[in-house]
A and B are shown apart, each in its own frame.
Chain A
Amino acid sequence: MRISPHDIDDIATGSSFLATGGGGDPYVGALIARRMLAEYGDVELLALDEIDDEAIVVAVGGIGAPTISLEKLPNGREQEWALERLERYTGEKADALIAFEVGGINSLLTFMAAARRRIPVLDGDGMGRALPEMQMTTFSINGVNGTPMAVVDEHGNSAIVTANDTAKAERITRNIALAMGGQCTSAESMMTGALVRKVSIPGSIGFCLEVGRSLKKPNNDADSFVEELRGLADASVYGAVRRLLRGKVVDVERKTRGGFDFATVVVEDLEGDGGPMRISVQNEFLVAARDGAVRASVPDLICMVDSETAVPITSDRVSYGQRVTVIGVGAPEMCRTARALSRIGPRAFGFDVDFVPLENLS
């Protein structure tokens, strides 16, 4: 399958849904990716089982505050530079790229680099959604050390990070990002084709594209989108789809702690008799509870769209009065293993609840 500039808008829309409230505004990322593909040609999207066992695959993406890039626009060559630095350090050349995170701008950054390099992007990723830290990827969960990794800024300044584990690498790079003006671009998790097939979520980019197409249908509303999403999820590695609530945002409490945006969004039901739903946010929507019971929790996806237009709503844009539909999507099974839950289950984010799959909750 070939990805054209036109598909980029669909991927951007789909990725802002799969970002579960995080990931920032995909506007600038989509704009650049579209231009790169228009200039350098379409990018091949390769299924995971199409890649050679010995092929070298690298994950690329951005680290830091996505809001920075709305003001300090990228140079456009950062991914390529990061890739070059990593290749020079390791002595290996990338045959294909993979997104470490399908949700948010990172899916788009992968296509920019692939277009310039004229190499394929793999149809899969390391999160199946958006999550805040590197050690939360399925690569890391399944034992892949994300380093050595190369990070660069818009000048081409760079650093090579090697660390004993990905969590430490995450802490180091976050501080490098700060020194680079609040964000940087990385090339990391160099893997063989055989390994990447074992540790990645298959088909997530294609799923993202399909979700984006469905969201962008004219005269769409949230309910008709949910119907289509069910069909798309059935044909993918994602699990059950639940419309959790159709209602109105009646409160948003915000605070920041340790660099993350903590908030509680309260959505009042406009149709049923139940109490309001409280959604806990740490950049992403992580736990949705109602009438004292959890209705969905991370790593399952809690997504929010405008009820009238089905436009995905990011957590920094949630405001009082919005009419929203909250949608739960079962995470791929690879994200629900005991090992995965220790990194990306509710307890990993400080919630005192165990993960229960969406489909087992009323």
Chain B
Amino acid sequence: MRVGIDVGGTHTDAVIVHGEQVIASHKAVTSMDITGGILDALRAVLDTVGPERDRIDAVMLGTTQFTNAVVQRRQLSEAAVIRLGLPSGECLPPMVDWPEDLARALGNHGYMVRGGNEFDGGQISPLDGTELEEVFARVAGTDARAVAISSVFSPLSPQMEIAAGKLLKAKMPEMPVVLSHELGRLGLLERENAALLNASLLRLSARVVDAFEEALSGFNIEAPFFVSQNDGTVMPSHRVRRFPVLTFSSGPTNSMRGAAHLSGIDNGMVADVGGTTTDVGMLIDGFPRQSSVNVEIGGVRSSFRMPDVLSIGLGGGSIVTGNGRSVGPRSVGRRLDEEALCFGGNTLTATDIAVAARRVKLGDPGALDGVPAGVVDTATATMQERFARAVEQMKTRPEPLPLIVVGGGEFLVGDGIPGISAVHRPAHCGVANAVGATLGKVSGECERLHHPGTESREKAIAKAAATARQNALAGGAAPENLEIASIDEIPLPYMPEETVRLRVRAVGDLAI
């Protein structure tokens, strides 16, 4: 049995999954301190299964805490970043493009020293130990609690980052170090941003992991726990301590993975209808299609693998105005239970419209007698039109595809959407995100530049695949069914020698 927990902005959901079956589920309001809501949800599902809880063999947590810490500039520690690469990049120091308040929250400790590699492995400048030690001494005089190290072309040549990290450890054994090549891809600023944000989240991640482990032992659960990443895979808790940024944007991914699992549909569209927004995305072979553009987190350009999701301001708490011609984006949010007409409140919401249209039984339908039928019809049509447009926008195949509707507000979506073969509302679709968290695959990646002139394509792919597999195993994958999930080859233009950027990803089941 697996426990899945999803901490969202509005709701904290928990489920227990046995084999393919959801045997317990609970939806709670996210508490201000986060942990309280998690404990409540966990307690509720554990009570449902009773003594069976001894058979739990893994707990999976999907959480927005780390994303929100960055977005809200809360609970971040000061952190320093040292870039190896001078004289290149002198005009663009670390944090160059950051919002000022975020750079200030991290203490503005950016340093540049000589070092870095060329695309072909040559050195831009040799690493200078004396120069580095001067920087270490300056870092020691600040309030920085962790240090990120970035180096030019480190995803292809990580040696300099590793060497600089060792020198730092020798000088400051207690100082946590994050090396950028462990986190990111080509694109120095984005990778450096990720490493620095990660460094600033290390103390929070230690607290979150400690609190969660304590909670689990309080419930006498000895099973290991894992945390969702943004690509639909999970990492073991010891990795979250080191790499909290990898949890960014795992929420939409979990709902889409959960939708695929609950419906048994691997290729189709998904709409996750929440309290304030609806996320629409596309499933390809059971995983969300990834975004091809750089995504910003809290105003910082990142290179994280993010699901390509369109978020529209329409959910269960959306406020209905203009006699139904307008629904959302304003929403009563988590106050739905007090403010919606059907719950005795004074605000006409999208949920009220669905209750009045007999799409769902909730609260007191009698409270809606005063809402004219014309308004209900118009609002229903308005919502359907917006859902249909969002689905149409995200659908990238001409043939009709199924639409899986999940989330607490699934009843807002009607049948009959153009380009959609059928609308599916699987059982437990309200907690699809927590179900998605339990699906725990493990992935590993390898990215390198390949020169077809000097090495055969097959050999290059085989090498990259071996590294990707190793990385997956290190992340907790079982060796038995570890598969190469994708091979991307992107030719680099304007180079005299043919050069291809090769990216291989291995995915496997969790070894439990």
- Minimum Cβ distance to chain A for residue B431 (Å): 29
In this complex, which of B89, B491, B494 has the most chain A Cβ atoms within 10 angstroms of its Cβ? B494
Judge whether A321 and B494 touch: CB under 8 Å: no
- A65-B494 contact given A73-B188, A268-B398, CB 8 Å threshold: yes
- A31-B97 contact given A317-B292, A321-B397, CB 8 Å threshold: yes
Contacting A at CB under 8 A, from B251-293, are 289, 292-293
Judge whether A66 and B87 touch: CB under 8 Å: no
One of A74, A75, A259 near B494 (C-beta < 8 A): A259
- A75-B393 contact given A66-B494, A259-B498, CB 8 Å threshold: no
Residues of B within 8 A of A77 (CB): 90-91
Judge whether A72 and B188 touch: CB under 8 Å: yes
Residues of A within 8 A of B97 (CB): 31
One of B89, B124, B495 near A65 (C-beta < 8 A): B495
**Which of the segments B12-20, B65-73, B114-122, B432-440 contacts the partner chain?**
B114-122
**Which of the segments A117-125, A196-204, A249-257 contacts the partner chain?**
A249-257
- Give CA–CA (A256, B502) in the complex, Å: 13
Interface of B is mostly: loop
> Does B218 touch A at the CB level, under 8 Å?
no
Judge whether A316 and B490 touch: CB under 8 Å: yes
- A71-B396 contact given A132-B494, A181-B124, CB 8 Å threshold: no
- A181-B122 contact given A67-B492, A254-B491, A321-B289, CB 8 Å threshold: yes
User: What sequence of 0s and 1s flags, for each residue 122-138 of chain B, a beta carbon within 8 Å of any chain A beta carbon?
Assistant: 10110000000000000
- A71-B153 contact given A66-B494, A181-B118, A256-B500, CB 8 Å threshold: yes
Judge whether B496 and A31 touch: CB under 8 Å: no
Judge whether B87 and A181 touch: CB under 8 Å: no
> Does A128 touch B at the CB level, under 8 Å?
no
Contacting B at CB under 8 A, from A66-84, are 66-68, 70-77
> Does B189 touch A at the CB level, under 8 Å?
yes
Question: Can you name the residue of chain B whose Cβ is closest to the Cβ of A255?
Answer: B491
One of A65, A156, A174, A323 near B492 (C-beta < 8 A): A65
> Does B327 touch A at the CB level, under 8 Å?
no
> Does B149 touch A at the CB level, under 8 Å?
no
- Give CA–CA (A71, B91) in the complex, Å: 14
- Minimum Cβ distance to chain B for residue A165 (Å): 19
Residues of A within 8 A of B292 (CB): 317, 319, 322
> Does A155 touch B at the CB level, under 8 Å?
yes
- Give CA–CA (A27, B193) in the complex, Å: 15
> Does A47 touch B at the CB level, under 8 Å?
no
Judge whether A316 and B493 touch: CB under 8 Å: yes
- A256-B491 contact given A28-B92, A73-B85, CB 8 Å threshold: yes
Contacting B at CB under 8 A, from A314-344, are 315-317, 319-323
- Give CA–CA (A174, B452) in the complex, Å: 19
Residues of B within 8 A of A250 (CB): 398
- Give CA–CA (A323, B393) in the complex, Å: 8
Judge whether A256 and B499 touch: CB under 8 Å: yes
Interface size on A, residues (CB 8 A): 52
- Give CA–CA (A334, B152) in the complex, Å: 42
Residues of A within 8 A of B189 (CB): 28, 70, 73
Question: Can you name the residue of chain A whose Cβ is closest to the Cβ of B154?
Answer: A71
- Give CA–CA (A258, B125) in the complex, Å: 29
Residues of B within 8 A of A31 (CB): 92, 96-97
> Does B183 touch A at the CB level, under 8 Å?
no
Judge whether B92 and A260 touch: CB under 8 Å: no
> Does A308 touch B at the CB level, under 8 Å?
yes
> Does B182 touch A at the CB level, under 8 Å?
no
User: What sequence of 0s and 1s flags, for each residue 467-505 of chain B, a beta carbon within 8 Å of any chain A beta carbon?
Assistant: 000000000000000000000011111111111100000
> Does B186 touch A at the CB level, under 8 Å?
yes
Judge whether B494 and A72 touch: CB under 8 Å: no
Contacting B at CB under 8 A, from A274-303, are 283
> Does B10 touch A at the CB level, under 8 Å?
no
> Does A6 touch B at the CB level, under 8 Å?
no
B-side interface residues toward A, CB under 8 Å?
A: 85, 87-92, 96-97, 116, 118-120, 122, 124-125, 152-153, 186-189, 289, 292-293, 301, 393, 396-398, 452, 489-500
**Which 10 pairs from chain A and chain B are nearest by CB?**
A76-B91, A321-B396, A73-B89, A256-B491, A261-B493, A65-B494, A181-B118, A154-B88, A283-B493, A259-B496
A-side interface residues toward B, CB under 8 Å?
A: 22, 24, 27-28, 31-32, 35-36, 64-68, 70-77, 132, 154-156, 174-175, 177-178, 181-182, 248, 250, 254-261, 268, 283, 308, 315-317, 319-323
